[in-house]
């Protein structure tokens, strides 16, 4: 199976059942909407961000089709701008590739440096999809198992409305 070994070892260790899918692309083609409808899972967006000083890193997780308002986090932290993290920062903290970051990337964050912010809208979803830290494959898990992985990772996480407007 495509994906980092730690992903599958963790799924087995936590006794998490999953559905596995492969494709010759990264599942990003809008023509594949029938695929998402067929598997009955919510496609998740995962953004790896950093603060302006580069001393804090964040993983934002939401429904792929939901807009994320970065200003919500900037307002929460009151520490300046937040921007996408570089491949160098990804290599240092979560050992993945741009475009294949997901909740499974936290399994590589042994220092639990990355803070996770999850859009509260995901709480209503039954099944979520994530890349296994590599492109061309996809794993679907239940929302409850998503929480198991978050808890197991040891990283701090918080649910919030990532699409909210800042007043």
pLDDT at 24: 59
Kindly list the domain boundaries of the chain, sorted by start residue: 5-29+38-160
Mean pLDDT, 10 residues at a time, the chain of 167 residues: 94 97 66 74 91 89 88 75 86 85 94 94 95 91 98 96 72
CA 102 remoteness from chain centre: 3
Contact 59, 47 (CB under 8 A): yes
pLDDT at 30: 56
Q: What is the pLDDT of residue 14?
A: 98
Q: Output the pLDDT for position 37.
A: 78
d(CA 163, CA 73): 10
Contacts of 66 (CB under 8 A, 6+ apart): 45, 119, 121, 162, 163
Q: For position 140, what pLDDT does the model report?
A: 96
Strands (E), 24-112: 42-51, 57-63, 82-84
Q: Is 44 helix (H, G, I), strand (E, B) or coil?
A: strand
5-29+38-160 adopts what CATH topology?
YbaK protein (3.90.960)
Number of neighbouring beta carbons within 10 Å of residue 71: 13
d(CA 140, CA 112): 24
CA end-to-end span of the chain: 46
């Amino acid at each position: 199976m495509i994906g980092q070994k730690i992903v599958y070892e963790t799924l087995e260790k936590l006794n998490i059942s999953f559905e596995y899918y492969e494709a010759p692309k990264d599942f990003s083609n809008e023509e594949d909407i029938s695929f998402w409808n067929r598997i009955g899972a919510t496609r998740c967006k995962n953004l790896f961000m950093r603060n302006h000083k580069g001393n804090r890193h964040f993983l934002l997780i939401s429904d792929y089709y939901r807009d994320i308002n970065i200003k919500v986090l900037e307002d929460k932290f009151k520490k300046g701008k937040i921007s996408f993290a570089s491949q160098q920062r990804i290599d240092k903290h979560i050992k993945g590739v741009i475009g294949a970051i997901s909740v499974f990337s936290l399994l590589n964050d042994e220092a639990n440096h990355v803070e996770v912010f999850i859009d509260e809208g995901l709480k209503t979803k039954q099944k979520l999809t994530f890349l296994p830290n590599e492109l061309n494959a996809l794993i679907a898990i239940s929302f409850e198992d998503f929480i198991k992985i978050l808890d197991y990772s040891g990283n701090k996480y918080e649910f919030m409305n990532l699409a909210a407007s800042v007043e």
